[in-house]
Structure 1
Amino acid sequence: MRAYSRLLESLVRLGSIGTHDVLNSINLVINEFRREFLYAIYTWNTDANIEVYFRRFNIQVFDGSLKIQGDGRGVEEASRLILRNTLIGSGKKVVMLFKDEGDEYVKVPTKPEFAITVNPAVSFIASSILTLVIFLMLTRYGIALTVISVIAQVVAVNMLYTYLSFTRMVKVRVDGSRIIKVTVTLPINTPEDTLFRLISYASSLRRVKREELTQVITILRAIGGSTQVSIGVDYLTIPSINGVKIYLVPSPDCNAVSMNLLGKFIVIGTKLVACLNQGELEAVINHELGHIVHLDTYKSLIASIIYSLASAIMLFYVIPVIGLTPLSVVIYVSIILAAIVISLALSRLNEVKADLYALSRGYRVPLATALVKVTYPSIYSTPIKAVFLSHPSTLSRVNKLLRATGKTHSKQL
């Protein structure tokens, strides 16, 4: 499976990676495969086009398109190198995030000491256990009361878990705010003690006056102690969305989630902000907004209720009638497996619809690059493995963006 080459070609067709960026990466490929390099043909018309030939594969950049052909392994190695150089980057990075509060920049906490992310599996397991308890206690009073009680507890457990998770999160509200991102990039061979001193200094900062930012950068450069140290300062604006609160939480994962049970919230991990630029961050926020607009939280809640009822009815009404036979066990196990597979399929469908919502709001290109940065290097899953994943593969999502028309979304918050 040529996953990396297909993804790279799709990104070039989307315009997420320019052909000039690919051309700039050609020398890296030639250097990496110098023993296999044969020759290159350059053509200058309105654009610079190039054909590079190796023993196992060749690369063609022509009229805004890219083709990498030849031996599968060589093609994938070259594609991965180009993809990493153009989108992911290399080197060691130390990133600091500050919230602009007028005269001061207030450091956003990035260490996830007490942060808790919302994990639907926890509430799902709790609901399943309580469902069994309710059926054991209430079946004598009739099916109607039992069903009502099960539905009530599933809703209550999901709302309670969401509330407890959200209130315990270390979070900073940022909708409508400006975030200052300071990124220190060091060479791969940077000594560990230099890296530790940079992290130690970055951790000691709490508040920085606006006029002190230049001094902070000077100190960071001095600690790095190398002319190869690169320091960038980006000013990111978090959009303000009517009725939706946006929070930053310390997280080691490039991830964002939306919640719609106890109000409309979008929670963004600090590492996600560290990885993305302005357009990509807005694309992810609009993706999460798509989940809210499409009421995906409520759809998952309804699916959980249906599963709980089906499972409990099977245990306490069907099996007692037909007996505990191999057939009844197979039926019950089939219900569980079907519930899991259907739930994951609905989750993947929701992700695609949220992608298309962001696309409809003009974020086709930045969403594609954000997806690659967030999921790299896990960009492809085999069909069998994909059945048991909650998100489609990056390759399939980018290809859907490539094929989609991007019509304006009519539903608003």
Structure 2
Amino acid sequence: MKPKIKLVQTSDGTNYLVPFILITTLFFLWGFAHSILDVLNKHFQDALSISKTHSALIQAVVYGGYFLMAMPAGEIIRRCGYRTGVVTGLLLYGTGALMFIPGEQIMSFPFFLLSLFIIGCGLTCLETAANPYVTVLGEKESAERRINLAQSFNGLGWICGPLIGGLFIFTANEKESSVAMPYAIIGTLVLLAAILFSRIHLPEIKAEDPAAVARTGTKRSLWSHGNFVFGLIALFFYVAAQTGINSFFINYVTEHGSISPREAALWLSFAGMGLFMAGRMAGSWAMGFIRSERLLACVSIGGILSMSIVMAGLGTVSISAFFFCFLCESIMFPTIFALAIRGVGGHTKRASSYLIMSIVGGAVAPIIMGYIADTVNTATGFIVPLLCFIIIAAYAFYLLRQRRHTDFAG
């Protein structure tokens, strides 16, 4: 009989429930930061009279921050530990958010972009620390389940972002609209969280037993791990797909569904992100029975089918396909991340830095999709996430093939 694997407890009985709960709260914070960008995208198009291509710079600067800050963040964590990485990220995040207060008075798009870039740098530190930390808070066999459960609270942040952003920014009375208020609230909460994390202890956990490393002789190069190299590519394209879909969801449904931006933001919040969160919770449960590689293959095929229907521009049917896609893409990021660092051992922190750098894919897709939307139409732009899901499917099938070879050899 297969022994039961506990989610946040190791085989020697060490329980990591408390650090798991504390770190999981961070997933909510960066989920909120990312999802409110989708409201800003449409708001700045209208308020500042800029094109879709121009407004896509919102995502570009945030995700560009990931690319530039990932290696420094990894170095901070390697030298000073996970807690220092978390506190640094929270301080940068809070500072960038509070900059929206003077930003609303200036109403300068470059100033808003600077604020968002600082937020992006903060989010990089948080994700570089939190994602790998969660995977080692228990047995390695339950890593994918654990990170999917933690990422469920990231999904809660994705619900709250467009909900709060839509209520404050897309108001019936334009004079009551405030882009600063939601950022002032979250910025204050984030700085309070920084104070809390600066005063608590987070155990530093070795990703691999030194004795096990000694038994196997010299450590393999990180780049010799095929699951990591292909996972790095797959994660780049996943973030590109997710960011592109979220960025132009409001544009698409207002053009094809005849509803207001405020209503579209609420649909994105409750329906889209609600399914996104539910999918992560269900995925964490399902991985107790289904191999994560197999589940990843199924949902990536679902994403391909969804985007094909969206591109067809079939009105209500295509909008429904959007919501199915949110359900499909829910488990992709945490599952790819966990599978990519599986077995890299002492390279875990460095591998995490590279994986966080791959989030720069979110800076690329919206600009390409915005250009296609401006020159052709919005629906055609969704060919970008469709191609991304094809690459993710290829990664899943690669892992399944590798697993079959391993099982056969065993």
Structure 2 length-normalised TM: 0.31
**Which structure dedicates a bigger proportion of its chain to helix?**
2
Q: Give TM-score, length-normalised by structure 1.
A: 0.31
Larger radius of gyration: 1
Q: Which has the higher contact order (CA 8 A, sep 6+)?
A: 2
